[in-house]
Amino acid sequence: MGRRLIAANWKMHGNREFTRRLLADLTAELTRPGACLDNGVEVAIMPPSLLLADCRRGLEKSSLALHGLTLFLGVQNLARWSEGAYTGEISAAMAADQGCRFAIIGHSERRQLMGEDDQAISEKVAQCLASGLKPILCVGETLQEREDGQAFSRVTAQLQQALTQVNPDQWQQVVIAYEPVWAIGTGVSASAEDAQAVHRHIRVTLAALGAPAQEMAVIYGGSVKPETAKQLFAQPDIDGGLIGGASLDANSFASICRAC
Ligand code: PGA
């Protein structure tokens, strides 16, 4: 996998009409003359799962392929189990069957609001890899942890616990998203320097776990906007972004893609 990735996390937003319009607007933005999307950048859309089929049809009908562009699909979460009596859950195999390439795992909203723990997250990473999906594993400290000087140690612990079930030949499928909890949805992004420092630390930690850290994508998430994207992505260890709010606007999301 290339190292650069921009992923749109729609969270619990949108409906079928929104999906149709957003994909049409995004296609127009990404294919207009001079749009200059670097073809080394992968772009993925993670809508709510109920909108995956609409998204897939919208992308198939779009003129993106004619311009040599592929937008990948992904889910925002999936089950820690492969199949069975788990009412309301969606398996990694089902996401793959819908054409998904990526899955967000361990987003802080799921850790905080849905009580996801490191054991569940590590099982979900394993489910992704077993079904050929690329997990986008989210890690990041709270404001309190940052103020207490524990940002690095928090991220280290999250990586160590979530990646216990990765086989040596699977590392390159794994994407890490550094998402400081205090920057998500707040309008306050981490500074490029602070984010770079944690990204460097993540690569060092991955290497210590035996991963080919230099070949893996480590992306940043938390209030990325078109105005801040360029500086963040210019850092040597920031390979792209996980974009929430700004991914709901075609113009903003396209300029963030171009900034990568
Ligand atoms: P935000 O969300 O860009 O709205 O801060 C990012 C995320 O939660 O993945």
Q: Can you give the pLDDT at residue 2?
A: 60
What is the chain's length? Answer: 260
Q: What distance in angstroms lies between residue 81's CA and the mean position of ligand 1's atoms?
A: 26
**Dihedrals φ, ψ of 130, to 5°?**
-65, -25
Non-local (6+) Cβ contacts of 148 within 8 A are: none
Own/partner pairs for 192-198, CB < 8 Å, 24+ apart? 192/228, 192/231, 192/232, 192/234, 192/235, 192/238, 195/220, 195/232, 195/235, 195/238, 196/235, 196/236, 196/237, 196/238, 198/151, 198/152, 198/155
Each of the 260 residues of the chain gets a pLDDT tens digit; together they read 468 999 999 999 999 999 999 999 999 999 988 777 777 899 999 999 999 999 999 999 998 888 888 899 999 999 999 999 999 999 999 999 999 999 999 999 999 999 999 999 999 999 999 999 999 999 999 999 999 999 999 999 999 999 999 999 999 999 999 999 999 999 999 999 999 999 999 999 999 999 999 999 999 999 999 999 999 999 999 999 999 999 999 999 999 999 99
The predicted structure's pLDDT at residue 1: 44
Task: Look at strands 41-46 and 71-75 and give their pairing.
Answer: parallel
Write out the two tokens for 116.
């996801």
Q: Which residue do the tokens 């609001």 mark?
A: 113
User: How many CB atoms are located within 10 Å of the residue 85 CB?
Assistant: 6
Which of 75, 138, 223, when mutated, tests ligand 1's pocket best, judged by the most ligand atoms within 8 Å of its CB?
Answer: 223
Structure tokens at 212: 């080919």
**Class of residue 39 by CB neighbours under 10 A (exposed 0-12, middle 13-18, buried 19+):** exposed
Looking at residue 68, what is its pLDDT? Answer: 83
* 3 state SS of 222: coil
Of ligand 1's listed atoms, the one at least distance from the Cα of 183 is: 5
Question: Which atom of ligand 1 lies closest to the CA of 9?
Answer: 9
Q: Which of 107, 109, 116, 123 is catalytic?
A: 107
> 4-259 architecture in CATH?
Alpha-Beta Barrel (3.20)
Q: Which of 42, 109, 141, 179 is catalytic?
A: 179
Let me know if 13 is a catalytic residue: no
| Ligand 1 interacting residues, C-beta cut-off 6 A | 9, 179, 184-185, 221-224, 242-246
201 catalytic residue (yes or no): no
